[in-house]
Structure 1
């Protein structure tokens, strides 16, 4: 981490602080920040509310429940628990475990999701790996390599089920685009890729593929078209 004259911010227990520019931010307990935060490293554990966006240039880690009243930008981002981002999300590398809501677009070079995710805009990634334990919604998904798997009934899925009593382990998007698209338990209007594998539990209106298409017997594809790459 680079040398800087910015102060550190630490809250333990129940406390509040102003937003602003910091070097390192560490919050544990019940914490509230009155405005946006711009820092190099951000870490929260417990119940945290930030009345603005969060920018953490190098590292951003959340464990517990976080409500961010703005966008979220980070280098390496790890979110565990129940997280709401009231704006766009952007990271170099992102790992999400739990129930995450993004009220905007989501963008990361390397994106790993386990649990449930709601993205009100487009999710764009270099590589996307999804282990479904709850509902996954996005307007559209675009990535070079997309993998979606049904992860079974684990402890995280039971937690999501308690938070969302009426739910379905399903990925839903209008459009899914990638070089390699390998999905199951997925519903989409259009899936387009060079190599496309439609796994069990999927319901796709139209598939456009360049090289290869494999459709599982327990999947439904209404229209198939081989196109030029």
Structure 2
């Protein structure tokens, strides 16, 4: 998708209030208050949606803010995205910093620098970032990879593989729901085939293989094999069927 749009080449602002369908293009700022459809690719500095926005094409932006529902049929690249609603992207997404609360679904590959979200993250392919901080649930079709992974688990979550330097997966407190409609389940668990990192602490996790330098297997875990180099600690109510020091 290239780099962010050249500010000098951008058209004046695009503002939609109410209900409308417009063509894509290059704009400084795009603001939607109501319900809108944009047909075609869009390049802009800022995009703000307060309502419902359907976009048919690719999006290249510096900043995206969503309060409501935003659906994109193409791919997106943005420096920041703050979400307070539902975002659906049909192809790949490159989001430098993702923050806020709500649901973000990327049917392709999701990458960026930092993700700090309260809610749900879904990636059809790999999810690769530097920092992955989530209070909620996730579904990753491929590899969830980050230098620092910190998950407070609300509902069942899955990834094919999980890899990182520091990995923390813990059950969220039942006393602190994200909203009146999104409460932690006492039976929530993470399922992955392989979990590999340097420093690993797991709760309520099911995996075939956990591999790391320092590994702590906490309550609610069911692990077939743990391979460790320095330390293995197994907490009460944790199941480790086989362990091996490398």
Q: Does 1:196 align with 2:215?
A: yes
Which of 1 and 2 has greater Rg?
2
Corresponding residue of 2:105: 84
State TM-score, norm by structure 2: 0.85
Which residue among 127, 147, 150 is the counterpart of 1:129? 150
Listed as ranges, the gaps of 5+ residues in structure 1 are none
Aligned-residue CA RMSD (Å)? 2.0
Q: Residue 87 of structure 2: SS of its match in structure 1?
A: strand
Listed as ranges, the gaps of 5+ residues in structure 2 are 11-26
Aligned mates of 1:109, 1:102 — CA distance in 2: 16
1:41-190 map, 5 Å: 41-56=63-78, 58-153=79-174, 154-156=176-178, 159-160=181-182, 168-190=187-209
Aligned mates of 1:212, 1:159 — CA distance in 2: 40
State TM-score, norm by structure 1: 0.91
Aligned mates of 1:3, 1:102 — CA distance in 2: 30
Q: 1:83 Cα shift?
A: 2.2
1:198/1:82 CA distance change after superposition, 3 Å: same
Q: 1:167 Cα shift?
A: 9.4
Corresponding residue of 1:27: 49
Corresponding residue of 1:225: 244
1:167/1:208 CA distance change after superposition, 3 Å: same
Assess if the C-alpha contact under 8 Å between 1:121 and 1:140 holds in 2. Answer: yes
1:146/1:25 CA distance change after superposition, 3 Å: same
1:158/1:221 CA distance change after superposition, 3 Å: farther
